Amino acid sequence: MEYRHTPVLLAEVTQHLSLHPGSIIVDCTLGGAGHAKRITASIAPTGTLVGIDQDDAALTAAEITLRLGQQIKENDVRIVLLKGNFGDLNTLLPQAGIASVDGFLFDLGVSSPQLDLPDRGFTYQEDALLDMRMDSSGPITAHDVVNTYEQSQLARVLREYGEERWASRIAEFIVAARGRHSIETTGDLVEIIKAAVPAAARKGGPHPARRTFQALRIEVNGELDVLRKGLHSAVPWLAPGGRIAVISYHSLEDRIVKRIFTELSTGCTCPPDFPVCRCGVKPVLRIVTRRPVVPSETEIEANPRARSAKLRVAERI
């Protein structure tokens, strides 16, 4: 099946990574290699592209795009594709045989094929088994979460990761439903959510299952923890002047990126009333984008999934 994903903020990412021939770039979320393909063209000849993804289907698609693509001539760019989680950069990057990196790209979340293929269990638009793992060998599925978490744990996940105002009620309805029989499919779950959210609150807004599905996906893939881990492990690999670019798609992710960039560009953590610095912490990043870069109206019109994208970029001092 064809892997169709339109890269978001493509020109802006390429510009902000300040690519040049010979650059060593790590695309931590390779997907279908939409960004990576453009990157390889800008770092040829002699550049290196390391592409990481935890999804086998993405890696297969990316390999076809990059290695069989007409755009780059053979041997112009060294391409290393690695299956893994970007939370494990410190074990993945040594496998690529590089000593430092000129640019990292994190294009967070799921790809269009992950969302659109019902058998991945991410979509509330079609009925499928509840899965939601980006890495199909991952330890927990959405089925495990909805059928085994305690009610209070479920409510916390929906509240924190979905910012769902009906979290407690949805959790209560899930626990009642699974008491009758286990919840097997995305369709079963959507019906439970619809029953839990009052009709008046469902009117006019987005799909009532949207926030719950986002929350489950984040929980199943540990997305926020690996984002923190990934950013913190990437920065020490950056060469001076090297850049890190992150595209996020919801406020929870964007807040984490903003906070980590601010923390690493601030340095000293001594209380403000200390006359001299005692902690010795020095800033390691300079923030390049004071405000996040967002897609143009034209891009959003052509690719509605770009709507919520925010790009933040920082540079290693």
Distance between CA atoms of residues 194 and 213, nearest Å: 13
Is residue 86 a contact residue for ligand SAM (CB under 6 A)? yes
Backbone angles phi, psi at 246, to 5 degrees: -130, 125
Is residue 214 a contact residue for ligand SAM (CB under 6 A)? no
Q: Which of 19, 25, 33, 175 binds ligand SAM (CB under 6 A)?
A: 33
Q: Which of 26, 43, 50, 53 binds ligand SAM (CB under 6 A)?
A: 53
Is residue 219 a contact residue for ligand SAM (CB under 6 A)? no
Which of the ranges 18-26, 51-59, 136-144, 231-239 carries the binding residues for ligand SAM, by CB under 6 A?
Answer: 51-59
Burial readout 126-135 (b: 16 or more C-beta within 10 A, e: otherwise): eebebbbbbe
Is residue 183 a contact residue for ligand SAM (CB under 6 A)? no
Encoding tokens for residue 231?
């950013």
Encoding tokens for residue 257?
């990126």
Query: Which residue lies nearer to ligand SAM by CB, 15 or 147?
Result: 15
Q: Give yes or no for a contact between 37 and 71, defined as CB atoms under 8 angstroms apart.
A: yes
Which of the ranges 17-25, 106-114, 159-167, 236-244 carries the binding residues for ligand SAM, by CB under 6 A?
Answer: 106-114
- Beta strand residue intervals within the chain, DSSP E: 24-27, 48-53, 78-83, 101-107, 238-248, 285-287, 310-316
Distance between CA atoms of residues 218 and 214, nearest Å: 6
Determine how many CB atoms are found less than 10 A away from the CB of residue 143.
Answer: 21
Is residue 85 a contact residue for ligand SAM (CB under 6 A)? yes
- Radius of gyration over alpha carbons of the chain, in Å? 21
Minimum distance of ligand SAM from residue 198's CB (angstroms): 33
Q: Which of 52, 89, 101, 145 binds ligand SAM (CB under 6 A)?
A: 52
Backbone angles phi, psi at 136, to 5 degrees: -65, -10
Binding mask 113-152 for ligand SAM (x = CB under 6 A): ---------------------x------------------
Position closest to ligand SAM via CB = 31
Query: Which residue lies nearer to ligand SAM by CB, 169 or 310?
Result: 310
Is residue 316 a contact residue for ligand SAM (CB under 6 A)? no
Query: Which residue lies nearer to ligand SAM by CB, 115 or 281?
Result: 115
Q: Give yes or no for a contact between 133 and 145, defined as CB atoms under 8 angstroms apart.
A: no
Size of the site for ligand SAM (CB under 6 A): 22
Whose structure tokens read 């040594």?
A: 94
Is residue 257 a contact residue for ligand SAM (CB under 6 A)? no
Residues 3 to 32 in contact with ligand SAM, rule: CB under 6 A: 5, 7, 29, 31-32
Spell out the residues 6+ positions from residue 8 whose beta carbon is closer than 8 angstroms to its own. Answer: 107, 247, 295, 299, 303, 305, 306, 309
